[in-house]
Amino acid sequence: MVPTSIRVIYGDTDQMGVVYYANYLRYFEAGRSEFLRARGLTYRDFEEAFRLRLPVAEAGVRYRLPARYDDLLTVETSLVQVRRASARFEYRVVRPDGAALATGHTVHACVDLDGRVHRMPRDLLDRLADGEPPTPGPTQE
């Protein structure tokens, strides 16, 4: 698990003064970016080194409690499953008091620069799993 701190800005809130629901996906992206960085790889580095991309193929969020302007949030990001050509991340957004505000997941396909599905490179898998082995998925996808 890699924690990422995010302070809610005014522009992230809606008319009711709570974080607009879609912004949690942005928080997940920030957590995922920091997860990669903690493994010694930025997304830009990944694209350049492997000539691949990891678009979101699926996303889900469960909202539990509202976050508000100026709240300090922590996005806890974990890689929970790697398959031949995809990876699943899970997220937990919490306040400093430990209250879980939202949980969710994203599944990322591994594709080449032309958008064709591609096997996850072994070097990438080794870096992603550093210190946190994901659950292996089925060999068929």
Reply yes or no on whether 12 is catalytic: no
CB 128, CB 83: distance < 8 Å: no
Going from the C-alpha of 129 to that of each of 38, 46, 72, the distances in angstroms are 11, 15, 28
Selecting among 12, 14, 45, 126, the annotated active-site residue is 14
Phi, psi of 3 (to 5 degrees): -90, 145
Going from the C-alpha of 59 to that of each of 72, 85, 88, 120, the distances in angstroms are 23, 17, 10, 20
| Residues catalogued as catalytic | 14
